[in-house]
Amino acid sequence: MKIIIFITLLSISFFQTNVYASHKIQVMALFTDKVMISIDGKQKILKKGDVFQGVKLISSDSHGALLELHGKKRQFKLGSSISTKFKKPDPSQEFIVWKDLTHMFRIDGKINNTSVKFLIDTGASAIALNSNTARKIGLDYKKGLPLQATTASGIAKGYQVTLNQVKLGHIKLYNVKAAVLEGSFPTEVLLGQTFLSRIHMTRDGDKMILKKKF
């Protein structure tokens, strides 16, 4: 069986924050499996399962909403509010990547404890690297599942592999799927959705905020 993937063709600043923070949470509007909440005056509409600043919507209807606040479930009625204090995520788990002079987002990281430079590619369905880089990392990629990748240069043959560990700063993910393509393409290691979909990622102009999911 062959797999088809798609590949399109980022300086870091760390946040410093206090360990604990107090927030006022209020329910502004109720719908079936949807709610408008206000956190410290900032309004946000959540759908069932959505998470915003540590607040997750479990369920809601016209009578009330069941919210999970950092692991603890609480029932809210329309207009009800609560002030809660909780431990903030470790600031080392969140950082900013800035566009470089080529207007791309690049970041240093590690694959299986080997240092690599990633090019963040939100359009790539998987982490992608060429066979030369794979050999330097020590990947026995030919034991992987054969695949075909659609690239800017056409169809490329390769293999699907599972990376034991991928690390960006203090964000560390295990068992991450990747595509190894025969030859010299891609010339950089593309950080695609098999990693990006497992973290929080927010883009704001020339910066991209990466944050570990908890």
Q: Mean pLDDT throughout 141-154?
A: 87
| Residue 7 or 114, more confident | 114
The last residue of a domain, from among 87, 115, 141:
87
Question: Which range has the worst mean pLDDT, 4-13, 100-109, 122-131, 142-151?
Answer: 4-13
Sign of the torsion angle spanned by Cα atoms 163, 164, 167, 170: positive
The reply to whether 201 and 161 lie within a common domain is: yes
The reply to whether 206 and 107 lie within a common domain is: yes
Say which residues have a Cβ less than 8 Å from residue 135's Cβ, sequence separation at least 6.
none
pLDDT above 90: residue 10? no
Range of the domain at 143: 3-13+92-212
**What mean pLDDT is reported for the chain?**
83
CB 94 within 8 Å of CB 209: yes
| Residue 89 or 160, more confident | 160
Adjacent-strand bridge partners of 6: 150
Task: Provide the token pair at 7.
Answer: 């590949």
Residues 192-202 have pLDDT tens digits of 999 999 999 99
The last residue of a domain, from among 57, 87, 117:
87
Task: Reduce the DSSP state of residue 92 to 3 states and report it.
Answer: helix
Q: Mean pLDDT throughout 132-145?
A: 97
The reply to whether 55 and 111 lie within a common domain is: no
State the total domains in the chain. Answer: 2
Task: Reduce the DSSP state of residue 7 to 3 states and report it.
Answer: coil
The reply to whether 130 and 176 lie within a common domain is: yes
Task: Provide the token pair at 45.
Answer: 């509409």
Among the ranges 35-39, 118-122, 149-153, which has the highest mean pLDDT value?
118-122
Q: Mean pLDDT throughout 183-194?
A: 95
The last residue of a domain, from among 70, 87, 104:
87
Of how many residues is the chain composed?
214
Residue 70 is predicted with a pLDDT of 67
Question: Which range has the worst mean pLDDT, 8-12, 21-25, 134-138, 165-169?
Answer: 8-12
CA distances (Å), 178 to each of 50, 129, 147, 188, 194, in order? 27, 8, 11, 14, 7
Domain with 66 in it: what CATH number?
2.30.30
The reply to whether 142 and 81 lie within a common domain is: no
The reply to whether 111 and 193 lie within a common domain is: yes
Q: Which residues of 139-177 are buried (b: 16+ CB within 10 A; e: fewer)?
A: bebeebeebebebeeeebebbbbebeebbbbebebeebb
CB 100 within 8 Å of CB 10: yes
pLDDT above 90: residue 21? no
pLDDT above 80: residue 188? yes
Does this model's pTM top 0.75? no
Domain with 144 in it: what CATH number?
2.40.70.10
Task: Reduce the DSSP state of residue 54 to 3 states and report it.
Answer: coil
